[in-house]
Amino acid sequence: MTRKVNILPKAPIGRLMVKAGAQRVSASAIEALTDILTEFGTKISERAVKNANHSGRKTVKAEDIKLAHNY
């Protein structure tokens, strides 16, 4: 069985949910949100890299992220 490696740590995701108003958060809820945020972040990052490359840069800047998010 292959073990899944999370890029995002679970504890801050749980704290984020508590800060949003949850009184208690299950491990499966944290895992689900972690998966969704990882997928979303990967898509935004890929678009941001394309934006930087299109601008002739190797460095991804905040403006690339913001533009990718609004895409």
Domain containing residue 59: CATH number: 1.10.20.10
Residue 5 located in a structural domain:
no
Q: Is 25 exposed, middle or buried (0-12, 13-18, 19+ CB in 10 A)?
A: middle
Residue 29 located in a structural domain:
yes
Residue 65 located in a structural domain:
yes
Whether the model pTM is above 0.75: yes
Residue 62 located in a structural domain:
yes
Residue 52 located in a structural domain:
yes
- Domain assignment of residue 59, given as a range: 10-70
User: In this predicted model, what pLDDT tens digit does every residue of 12-47 receive, in sequence order?
Assistant: 999 999 999 999 999 999 999 999 999 999 999 999
Q: Taking Cα atoms as reference points, which of 36, 11, 39, 6 lies closest to residue 25?
A: 11
Residue 1 located in a structural domain:
no
How many structural domains are present in the chain? 1
Residue 33 located in a structural domain:
yes
Q: What pLDDT does residue 6 have?
A: 78
